[in-house]
Amino acid sequence: MFNIQKAVSRLNFAPKINEIEITDIKNGIGVFIPKAEKPVSYAALKETLKKAGYTLASAKITVNGKLTRDAVGWSLMTDTSGQRFILEGEGVDLALPDAAPNAQVEVTGDWRTAGEGKEIITPLPAKKAGRSHNEGGANQAKTEYVDVTSGGPLDVGPAPVAPIRTTSPGLTVYRGGAFTPRYVYMRQQLGGLKVDRHIMLLDFSYTPTPKLLVEAEIPVTRISFKDGATSGGGEGVGNIIISGKYRFFRRVEAWGDRQAALRFGLELPTGKKDAPGEQELQPQAFLRKQLSPISGGLSPHVDLTYSQAKGRFILGANAEVVLRSQRDGFRMGHELRVNTDLEYVLLPRKYDRPGGEVFAILESNFIRRGTGRVAGAPVTGSHSTEYYLAPGVQYAMRPRFVIEASYQLPLARNTGPQVLRIERGLLIGVRLLY
């Protein structure tokens, strides 16, 4: 393996020898991040490996740059080295559905040289996915490094094969946007009162710059309750949340990706404030207010997110604070949420093209709420501490179409006598990328 690293390190666009990683010794797969300011060459890579006794089977490259268009088609111009990559193949439309000149994009694809200084990328479609219970879970963009190339063993027999995958520095979250409708069902309970809450969360997100994601979430809620002989219900739009997530850290490593982002959101007082059960639950004003689609008025959300992908595992976590203000004298307590998200790529066992991936998911949600208010006064027994576990599954049927489902169950709850307790929850969602 040392010979491959040494051979690649000779290239003027290659990093230091210890930064060239051989990720699969048996199949001779390696990864390196080229120097940003140097133009790269597939032909040079192939030649140096040939000089070291290896045959380069294939290479993939990830490039971040600006799109340009001419008579031939789309090209990608890197900001740092000024190198031009011609984009071709059927994957171009899928990878760049809303391509526009000067748009900043990140493209991954098969790499080759076709003549002097003519580097060509045949793009692979990108993939993005995320999910969460409780409207505020770990919801990060992620990058998977499951290499698709394969070759013969190294250092044995004649003409061994050495496919190399290279990754250029890039910070793109995902160019374009996503529409993610999710259905969440929650069964809540307090004494003899049983509440069924059906929430349709309509989430729209878009990335105007490589590091920034803007998002709007519109909840539509239907609530029904029964308390012994009485029952009732209502529906309405909840508070709309608008937010911006800025990714301030990203490190791409061999078969791995680490990133961190800070999100600022604002929950707008747009939701329906009326609650059903005015007659039946009149004496319990705080409890009755919890049957409305809102948790208070204008509320800032601050959220720090970290995610890491390595091999088949993806780990994400976020910590979120929500400071609630009153609306008509009512609000739930201020919130601290800590969510974790562990994922494992179940299928395919051998990855040869995007789509058809199945992820096993285990989410956990810790929620700590302070004392709430009604009629402007603090309500004794309105605080709560809850911890939930949500196993689930996600199916990326196509690179731009993802289905997800998870079931939430309580692990530990310490809720005051005025707070509805979640008994169980179900999330079903789809994600459409555009």
- Looking at the Cβ atoms of 20 and 390, the one nearer to another protein is 20
Contact status: 18 vs another protein (CB under 8 A): no
Q: Per CB under 8 A, which region of 46-54, 285-293, 362-370, 391-399 contacts another protein?
A: 46-54
Contact pick of 115, 156, 282, 283 for another protein (by CB under 8 A): 156
| ∠ CA 316-319-320, rounded to 5° | 130
Interaction between residue 69 and another protein (CB under 8 A): no
Least gap, CB of 24 to another protein (angstroms) = 17
Q: Is 54 in the site for another protein (CB under 8 A)?
A: yes
**Shortest distance (Å) from residue 22 CB to another protein:** 13
Judged by CB, which is closer to another protein: 53, or 300? Answer: 53
H/E segment holding residue 265: strand 256-267
Nearest distance, CB of residue 49 and another protein, angstroms? 10
- Report CA torsion sign: 20, 22, 28, 33: negative
Closest CA to 105 of 42, 153, 168, 48: 168
CB closer to another protein out of 157 and 192: 157
Tokens found for residue 349: 């066992």
Q: Which of 159, 192, 229, 282 binds another protein (CB under 8 A)?
A: 159
Question: Distance of alpha carbon 299 from its chain centroid, rounded?
Answer: 24
Rounded-to-integer distance, Cα 421 and Cα 388, Å: 11
- For the residues of 173-233, what is the DSSP string, one character each? --SEEEEEEEEEEEEEEETTEEEEEEEEEEEEEEEEETTEEEEEEEEEEEEEEEETTEEEE
Radius of gyration of the chain (CA): 26
* Complex with another protein: residue 8 or 322, whichever CB lies closer: 8
Contact flag: residue 283 with another protein (CB under 8 A): no
* The one-letter amino acid at 419: V
Asked if 22 is part of the footprint of another protein (rule: CB under 8 A), the reply reads: no
Window contacting another protein (CB under 8 A); options: 98-106, 152-160, 291-299, 350-358: 152-160
155 is a site residue for another protein (CB under 8 A): yes
Site string for another protein, 82-111 (x = CB under 8 A): ------------------------------
Q: Does 72 bind another protein (CB under 8 A)?
A: no
Tokens of 52: 């070291």
Six-digit token pair at 281?
């639950």
d(CA 283, CA 173): 50
Residues within the interface to another protein (CB under 8 A): 2-3, 6-7, 10, 50-54, 154-160
